[in-house]
Chain A
Amino acid sequence: MVKVVLSSGSASQQFTGGETEFEVEATTFRRLVLELEQRYPGLGKQVEESMAIAIDGEIFQDAYAAELQAGSEVVLIPKIGGG
């Protein structure tokens, strides 16, 4: 199980009914997206299209294969661009 934390406030919480922390069974970013979509319809799509994730502190963007270890903390944050 990995711990998922919604960092960016209400924009994502609209899909979770206000929950900000929960556990998900997933070993990759891709699996996480699918699990999130199944549990909270709309959240997986939102994560895939407009969010980055921080896995144990490190930010990943658009990386299906990024590995999740048992006990990992995954924080969902807005995707980051630049100038």
Chain B
Amino acid sequence: MNYIDSSLKVVGSRPVRPDGVDKVTGRAVFAADTRTAGMLWGKILRSPHAHARIVSIDTSKAEALKGVFAVVTAADFPDIPSEEAFVGEGPVNFRDLALNVMARQKVLYEGHALAAVAASTQEIADQALALIDVKYEVLPHVIDVEEAMADGAPILHDDMITTGVNPPPTKASNIAKVVTFKKGDAEAAFAEADVIVEGHYTTQPVHQAYIEPHACLATYAPDGQIQIHSSSQGHFMVRAYTAKLLGLNLSDIRVNPAEIGGGFGGKTLVYLEPVAVALSRKSGRTVKMQMTREEVFRGSGPTSGAAMDVKIGAKKDGTIVAAKQVLKYQAGAFAGSPIGPGCMCGFAMYDLPNVDVVGYDVVSNRPKVAAYRAPGAPITSFAVESAMDELALKLGMDPLTLREKNAAKNGTKTHYGPTHQNIGFTAVLDAVRAHPHWKTPLKEGQGRGLAAGFWFNIGGESSAQVHVNEDGSVTAATGSPDIGGSRASIGMMVAEVLGVPADAVRTIVADTASIGFTHLTGGSRVTFATGMAATQAAEKVVEDLKRRAAQTWEIPVDAVEWKDGKAYPAGSNAGAFEPLDLAALALKSPRTGGPIAAEVSVNAQGAGAGFGAHICDVTVDKETGQVTIERYTAIQDVGKAIHPSYVEGQIQGGAAQGIGWALNEEYVYNDRGQMENPGFLDYRVPVASDVPMIEAVLVEVPNPRHPFGARGVGEVPIVPPMAAIANAIRSATGLRMPDLPMSPPKVRAAFDARG
């Protein structure tokens, strides 16, 4: 059923957050809060070298230490073969995943795990790590993406032959893959352009910087049954990866999802869980593991850094005739950067006749990248949207007008193949033009930037249950960890269908043994896909309730209607009966067929693409290079905001993370390839005083493929900020900043270089 044009009572309102009290009172149980009597502490030994061959590992002294119950190395894990799969948030090679969790012959980055211990206290575990004797043959390393591509660069994987090149190369290199997308004939079209802009841009790897470090608690019971409590964006993903890496059956593993303290894509992989299970299997005790912040930085994935070339050609009236990009994305120590989405997203916002994009997936001696909100899109869009600003300047055209003139609309065929349908980009640009921020004159010294952003959004597999309890209250359960308010949105959609208030429905996240498979929380998919499953489950419950009312009244089921949480006779011909509400029907449920419940599993298709545009005003201190965000407005097509406050929060959070990416965040390496700023004092994420009130403007162009019109909202808002800020700095100072972060030293240096 489709409710887009219905009069809605719950969806679109702003009830109190269901997870709010637990979180503000500290009662919420995160993975690090879980513990059992007699548990051990697991800790990981990490490589101090960026690139080295493991000559030997002697664990005998650690094993002999009193209080140590188990030591594991790669020898305790199956040596699994190379196998590509798409289980998490992107293509994964299980061998690479296994080698990232526990190095086997080489360590490929500083922080790479190569052994682990389980001991009765954290202090003993630390002592045991110090007693493990590892002999390394240190190898030359490479950090920078373009240096890793150069001839003569240290090769990370002797068997890495570049794919996507015809004929295939015969020598190993650090380029895992080349991706190309072509539409029309860009080279020929550039000859027709009146104006051409070209630029070289770079971005730095940035960490997802979730507040809660990775943590888990694992028990391997004597009968082979395994319990895991962990913080992740997908407990089914944890189950699948743990089973694969240890050669276990899925049905022997039960993963309980803990409350999650942020993920942003970074918790779509496993780091600790297989190790904790291996330690528990060897020790016979429950094992708890939690990373320190330093380990999070050294051992878990940031998103890619990149080097990019962009070229755009246009007619004098602003019509773009050709566009070209070369993208070099750093993947970390194993192949698998988000180069595919990077190649697809940069120009996806525009109706372009001729496009040529080439992308390179490049390994280097850094932690393997993990997903980060709209993986790949913010990077490519920093380059494209900066170039669009340069093009507007060169044309003498307002940057909004340039985007309006070339904006993708319904029916626009993208350069990567699909045709945009039911999109709201022009509605977003209309909202920019109408917004007071866009019209407000700048104050002395200020500059204003505009940038747009796109993300596909996805659907996928989800399961949801709806139970009417014995007293008529309602429980909804899903398999989707709640990282952005999905318990609220799921509960509200169920309440809307049942015709009850939002607070009549309690929504929980069920463990892997208690609900059908659900793909992880990512791709902005949960309110769309799991919401679709929950809506259908609620509809099945309503049909069941109508059947029970009909049975009670001895009338045909089609003579019963469901309205405002009650069954009514459908008109006077159906008979004169008092309406039956949920409580009344639940009370009689043993007599009308037993418990009232429904479960629906879907593979949701038709996730509507998302578009946004951000306006940013800045001032720049010419003495220090400090950039201050004075005003920030983020406008986005959200389809239908199920709970507008959460949607606004998603948009504000994405913009805030983008501000950090733009202005400060970067990994600082020494000449030995070791990270020198693995903590929040030196790796500077934005704090409250860095960020003004971000105004989120919700544009609602319904997605007809969702019962309430919802689109994913969590990823688009991190796409525009870097270019919006760069364009604002250009407006304020005349300086084009092509390299992130635009930190005070770099801005100061740009002033100095201009003289």
Contact of A75 with B417 in the complex, beta carbons under 8 Å: yes
User: Beyond A54-B419, A82-B457, is A8–B340 a contact (Cβ under 8 Å)?
Assistant: yes
CA distance A56 to B413 in the complex (A): 10
List B contacts of A10 (CB < 8 A).
164-166, 178, 180
- The size of the chain B interface, using a CB distance under 8 A, is 55
Nearest residue (CB) in A for B525 is A82
The answer, among A9, A18, A57, A78, for a CB contact under 8 Å with B182, is A9
CA distance A81 to B182 in the complex (A): 22
Contact of B84 with A50 in the complex, beta carbons under 8 Å: yes
The answer, among A60, A76, A79, A83, for a CB contact under 8 Å with B91, is A79
The answer, among A63, A77, A83, for a CB contact under 8 Å with B375, is A83
- Interface residues on chain A, size class: 20 to 34
What distance in Å separates the Cβ of A5 from its nearest Cβ neighbour in chain B?
Answer: 6
Nearest residue (CB) in A for B358 is A9
User: Beyond A56-B419, A62-B460, is A79–B86 a contact (Cβ under 8 Å)?
Assistant: yes
What distance in Å separates the Cβ of A26 from its nearest Cβ neighbour in chain B?
Answer: 17
> Of A7, A56, A66, A79, which is in contact with the most chain B CB atoms at under 10 Å from its CB?
A7
The answer, among A7, A8, A82, for a CB contact under 8 Å with B89, is A82
Contact of A78 with B164 in the complex, beta carbons under 8 Å: no
CA distance A10 to B371 in the complex (A): 24
The answer, among A9, A50, A63, for a CB contact under 8 Å with B164, is A9
Chain A 35-65 per-residue mask, 1 if CB under 8 angstroms from chain B, else 0 = 0000000000000011000101111111100
Contact of B524 with A82 in the complex, beta carbons under 8 Å: yes
What distance in Å separates the Cβ of B427 from its nearest Cβ neighbour in chain A?
Answer: 19
**Is A14 an interface residue, CB under 8 A from the partner?**
yes
Contact of B605 with A63 in the complex, beta carbons under 8 Å: yes
Chain B 480-508 per-residue mask, 1 if CB under 8 angstroms from chain A, else 0 = 00000000000000000000000000000
What distance in Å separates the Cβ of A20 from its nearest Cβ neighbour in chain B?
Answer: 9
What distance in Å separates the Cβ of B84 from its nearest Cβ neighbour in chain A?
Answer: 6
**Is B456 an interface residue, CB under 8 A from the partner?**
yes
List A contacts of B606 (CB < 8 A).
58
**Is A13 an interface residue, CB under 8 A from the partner?**
yes
User: Beyond A9-B180, A83-B375, is A49–B605 a contact (Cβ under 8 Å)?
Assistant: no
A-B pairs, 5 with minimum CB distance: A82-B523, A83-B265, A57-B419, A75-B417, A9-B180
Apart from A13-B166, A59-B418, list 11 A-B contacts with CB within 8 A.
Answer: A7-B181, A8-B181, A9-B182, A10-B178, A79-B86, A80-B458, A81-B341, A82-B524, A83-B303, A83-B371, A83-B715
**Interface positions of B (Cβ within 8 A of A):** 84-86, 88-91, 163-166, 177-182, 208, 264-266, 268, 303, 340-341, 344, 371-375, 413, 416-421, 455-461, 522-525, 603, 605-607, 712, 715
**Interface positions of A (Cβ within 8 A of B):** 5, 7-11, 13-14, 18, 49-50, 54, 56-63, 66, 75-83
